[in-house]
Homo-oligomer: A and B are copies of this chain.
């Protein structure tokens, strides 16, 4: 019925003979304190239209949107996504070519009506939109590169007869703009494709907008990961935090250490081969998504011990080894030799400039039981402070990874236990208890932070919990302007204890969409009723 009203608006506009109708402005904030742009008053008789504004279909809401009642028609058999004049990208830009094909399919592919023949436009009176011209403005469009933390995702979109123009500095912004353009196109009850004349100026509020998937507690087939990357692109997420291994299984097939997955995976077919990993990385790249792998140590490593002898700490009881093992053994040189090789491989397999090194939830019980560890503690002068031993270990790993020119992400304990961190280290805040204080401490120490604490989406509950995720204001922590700038984004985490291919998609989406809008849109986009309406439409489109 909202589409019906949209159509009525278009016809009415034409009958009135208006050339430029007053704008209906929904998102009104420009970031960095720009003044709120006021909507011009609407003429009477247009009140109904408030129920059917084109912005109802946008998610996450762009930073600045102006739409006009005048609608344009798109003919699937004629409409083209093309490189615009002056663009540094051309037909040789595989990334954009692929995106053109993909978004064409999203917009028109679900409707089979017109494919029965090159049907002419419906007998409608709207003018036609013939093209979307994409212009990349930077000298090097970056078609073959990988997205970075500092990549520009800004874009500017104008939709007017007879062509729409999408301008972006880099291809990453073009990808975001293509998603927005596709969200503006809708099909009416008679199978006509329509778009309102519009102007959109958009950019993300936060640079790091991630989803954590856990492929250790349950293996996720490649297809599930790729489907999730599609959903991420629909919500303008740009980081896949791949928690690839953990205590339960080691599905990453290492080139240097194949026994890790041979013995540590759930089974010989529940692994990610080098080809699988490359596929995930490339599929993500084509959607402007970074892949940050997490190889969590020294805890969460039980599965590592199966394929790598003498890596984990033997636990003792009454002076005797129990046969059980604890965290990675921090006292042997062989540990660091192994880690040097493994992280050399990881640094080369994963192109992203960051690696996540974990460092969370280290249980000291086993270390405390081991005579060799105790001896080492004494020698190092750590007393009985095992957090110091943990920091000693982490320090070594950080140094190894630094030597491969990789940036580092770590869980908050690494900061809490006072490891010496490089200033560009990204600290992921996950403990729900007083996370604002933790953000304050991390950024107060001059370190970069990513927030996950309020967004553990594996914790399910009855009802519309998306509102809880949506209502988080990440910058609501005590700190200076400088500190606020150090919070570079957030991640929705879907730990895998109760998640596998059978429930991943309906459990994560559209709940994670709430986090997506919080991290992309302006801080004043907080109206739950408005969000509900748009999210409902967005969910339907994603389905």
Binding site for B on A (CB under 8 A): 458-464, 498, 502-503, 505-507, 543
With A506-B503, A506-B506 already in contact, the answer to whether A498 and B461 are too (CB < 8 A) is no
Contacts of A460 in B (CB 8 A): 460-462
With A502-B505, A505-B502, A506-B503 already in contact, the answer to whether A462 and B459 are too (CB < 8 A) is yes
Q: In the complex the two chains form, is A461's CB within 8 Å of B458's CB?
A: no
Give the shortest distance, in Å, between A110 (CB) and chain B (any CB): 15
Give the shortest distance, in Å, between A406 (CB) and chain B (any CB): 34
Q: Which listed residue (B461, B463, B502, B506) contacts A462, Cβ 8 A? A: B461
Give the shortest distance, in Å, between A269 (CB) and chain B (any CB): 12
Contacts of A464 in B (CB 8 A): 498
- The 6 nearest A-B residue pairs measured at CB: A503-B506, A502-B506, A459-B462, A460-B460, A460-B462, A461-B461
Measured CA separation A86–B543 after assembly (Å) = 54
Report 15 cross-chain contacts, Cβ distance below 8 Å, ordered by A residue. A458-B462, A459-B462, A460-B460, A460-B461, A460-B462, A461-B462, A462-B498, A463-B498, A464-B498, A502-B506, A502-B543, A503-B503, A503-B506, A503-B507, A506-B506
Give the shortest distance, in Å, between A41 (CB) and chain B (any CB): 30
Closest to A503 in B: B506
Closest to A542 in B: B502
Measured CA separation A464–B497 after assembly (Å) = 10
Measured CA separation A227–B507 after assembly (Å) = 20
Contacts of A458 in B (CB 8 A): 462
Give the shortest distance, in Å, between A419 (CB) and chain B (any CB): 31
Give the shortest distance, in Å, between A348 (CB) and chain B (any CB): 35
Contacts of A462 in B (CB 8 A): 458-461, 498
Contacts of A506 in B (CB 8 A): 502-503, 506-507
Contacts of A543 in B (CB 8 A): 502
Measured CA separation A463–B463 after assembly (Å) = 17
Measured CA separation A463–B460 after assembly (Å) = 9
Closest to A456 in B: B462
Measured CA separation A506–B499 after assembly (Å) = 10
Measured CA separation A463–B499 after assembly (Å) = 11
Closest to A458 in B: B462
Measured CA separation A498–B458 after assembly (Å) = 17
Give the shortest distance, in Å, between A457 (CB) and chain B (any CB): 11
Measured CA separation A503–B539 after assembly (Å) = 13
Measured CA separation A505–B461 after assembly (Å) = 18
Contacts of A461 in B (CB 8 A): 460-462
Q: A459-B462, A502-B505, A506-B506 are in contact. List 5 more A-B contacts (CB 8 A).
A: A460-B460, A460-B461, A461-B461, A461-B462, A503-B507
Contacts of A459 in B (CB 8 A): 462
Measured CA separation A172–B138 after assembly (Å) = 72
Give the shortest distance, in Å, between A196 (CB) and chain B (any CB): 24
Closest to A459 in B: B462
Contacts of A505 in B (CB 8 A): 502
Contacts of A507 in B (CB 8 A): 503, 506
Measured CA separation A543–B500 after assembly (Å) = 12
Measured CA separation A221–B464 after assembly (Å) = 23
Contacts of A463 in B (CB 8 A): 498
Give the shortest distance, in Å, between A537 (CB) and chain B (any CB): 15
Measured CA separation A503–B499 after assembly (Å) = 13
Contacts of A498 in B (CB 8 A): 462-464
Residue of A461, A502, A506 most packed against chain B (CB within 10 A): A506
Closest to A505 in B: B502
Give the shortest distance, in Å, between A112 (CB) and chain B (any CB): 16
Give the shortest distance, in Å, between A246 (CB) and chain B (any CB): 18
Give the shortest distance, in Å, between A506 (CB) and chain B (any CB): 4
